[in-house]
Structures are given as C-alpha cells and as structure tokens.
Amino acid sequence: MFKFDIIEEHGGHEQVVLCTNKDAGLKAIIAIHNTTLGPALGGTRMWTYKSDEDALIDVLRLSKGMTYKAAAAGLNLGGGKAVIIGDPKKDKSEALFRAFGRFIEGLNGRYFTAEDVGTDVNDMEFINMETQYVTGIDIGHGGSGDPSPFTAHGTLMGIKACIKEKMNTDSLKGLKVAVQGVGSVGKHLVELLHKEKAQIVITDTDKERVQAISSQYGCDAVSPEDIYSQNVDIFSPCALGAVINDDTINLLKCSIVAGGANNQLKDARHGDILKDKNILYAPDYVINAGGLMNVYLELEGYSHERALNMTRGIYYNLRKVFAIAKNENIPTYKAADRMAEERINKIGKVKQTFLGRSGRRFNNLVKVDSK
C-alpha cells in the first residue's frame, strides 16, 4: 500500500513517480519537491535499502534538500532526487539504467538527473541513451564528468568559512580534521586537506579504500565507530546522512561540523543541540552544493574554470548564513533555511507576472538532443 502520509510528512512534494521494469530489474522512485525556481535537478542514488519505505523516505528527504541547496546557491533550479533500489556492486546493467532513463524522459524536462551515491559517469551514459535530461555525463560527450571533485572543493571552501568564523584564521595548517567516508567526495577532500597541511583522520566501511588513502596521504585511520570521538577541530561527514543523532552527538570532541554528506542531522533538533554545545554547524546543503553548481553549468554551457569560481562562492554563502544566525540568535540550519526560503518566495512572486504565450519557459535550461 503506497503511503501518502509519508509524502505529506516530508514537505509538500509536487510529484512522486514509482518506476518499475521487471525485465530490467528496475525498482526506482523519482521525487520532485519544488520547481518554483526552475526544473528539478538532483542525482540518482543506488542503494540496498532495508525496505521500500526506507527508500521512499530517503528520496523525499534528499529531494527537499535539493530545493534548498539550489536556492541557497543562487541557482535557477528546483529540487528533485531519485533512488534505485538495488546493490550497486551486483545489480547494475545497461538495461536497468536505460529503462530508468525512459521514465526520466517521460517527465519532459521537469527533472534532470546526475550521479550520486552508488552511481557514476558510466551509468549516466546509459541513461543518456534514452533521455537528454541528464547531467554529469562524460566530458567527451559534452558533459562535465564526475562532479565529486567540485563537491569536495566546495566543501573545502565551506570549511575555510567555518574556521574563519570560529577561529578567525584562513589557514588549515596543523588543524585536525576527521573525515567520515572516503568515497568519491571524501577521497578528493582528503587530497585537498593534505595540500592545506591539515592533520587528517579517516574512516570508511571499505577497509581496502581506507588503507590505500591512508598510505597515500599519511592519514591516521580509525574504525567507523571511533570516528565520532576523535579529538579534532573539524568533524567532516562525507558518507550517508543522519550521522548526527542521539547516539553520536555527545561523542563529538570538535568545534566544527562541516562535511559533504547530505542530511547530516537526523532530526532538526540535533542542530539546536550543536548550537547549545557551541559546535559550529555548516548546513549540509549549503556546503556541499559544489557538485550541483558544476552540473548546472552543463545546462548553460560548461566551463571548468567557471565551475571552480562558483564553488568558491560557497565560502561567502556560508558567511551569510553565519551572519543571519548570529544576528537572530538562531541555529545555523534555521538560518540557512531562512536564506533559501526567502529567495524561493521572492522569485516565486516575480514569476507570477504573466509574460504572454511567448514568455520564457526555461528553454535555456533544456539541452538540445544531439543524438
């Protein structure tokens, strides 16, 4: 039985699409949260969820986060996300992703996808065989490739905004950073932190990956359970969400939480607790917007240098968030929501003006099918 109450509970989504193709082994959900600012854009995650309900909740949370991420980043995009239920190590196939691409094509530009946890550039290439509404495809096919380095770069800029706010310094030299998860984003962040001469502690569920990165960059490595209690300046979640929760929040021995993962707070109240504990929290959808900025430029005309410049702006976006939080004495997650909602409301009112039948309808954000 499809549970409409779960959708209503997670923030007023415009559209939720169930995608199935038995022959291709496809079970997926696409959630479009809000398209006030433009077409929805958000990655496709492939994961072995414990239940279909868990998958639904995840895609609803993630798609709402994308609405706020795009708004806070100043992009003309709405929020959407997709999840494919399956094991990314065993269940991938050309047929699966092409079947999924057909569902995206059927939305006629309301939703653009990209890679996410469990998917990569190769998967986007298969999707692109069936739809033009996909970003993050191979550079050779006119895309921008893997967005992870830009997410990591933006996260680094956000960390620098945090240390400026908390410690009044611009240098990470000698500061201790615990990176939770060294996958596609985390490994690039470790490389950048290493160049900044930070002291780095890492963890991941993939022991071979931890060993390789630890050897390459001289990081200390700890178990996933011990990463929270490390005596560090910055805790940087770069894996899955809900890692700041009742079980972990009192283990933290840091002064800053700033990482690339989505939905880091299990519940909003955990953001209040961080404020009470005098731990500066960089709202996740503000600090990790670099990947979205990068793929957004594919819709306008891609430039690597412009993408880097946009991700540098995350530093200033977070500084605005911290200023709102300080002026209004509210937690930073509430300040970020306020900044994003204000832009959505203002632009939404601007767009109420009728432009006539020839009015602009985001034609500049729909790529021409070159196939």
At residue 29's C-alpha, the angle toward residues 24 and 32, to 5°, is 140
Q: Tell me how far apart the alpha carbons of residues 117 and 316 are, in angstroms, rounded to a whole number.
A: 27
Dihedral angle of Cα 175, 265, 68, 364, to the nearest 10 degrees: 70
The active-site residue out of 27, 81, 176, 334 is: 81
With CA atoms as reference, report the closest residue to 238 among 332, 153, 329. 153
Query: Which residue bears the tokens 């000698």?
Result: 174
Distance CA 282, CA 301 (A): 30
Instruction: Please choose, from the candidates 91, 95, 83, the residue with its C-alpha nearest in 3D space to the C-alpha of residue 28.
Output: 83
* Tokens (6 digits) for 24: 């291709």
Cα–Cα distance measured from residue 286 to residue 79, given in angstroms and rounded to the nearest whole number:
14
Residue 348's H or E segment, with its range, is: helix 332-350
Q: Decide if 81 is catalytic.
A: yes
How far apart are the C-alpha atoms of 289 and 73, rounded to whole Å?
A: 7
Residues labelled catalytic:
81
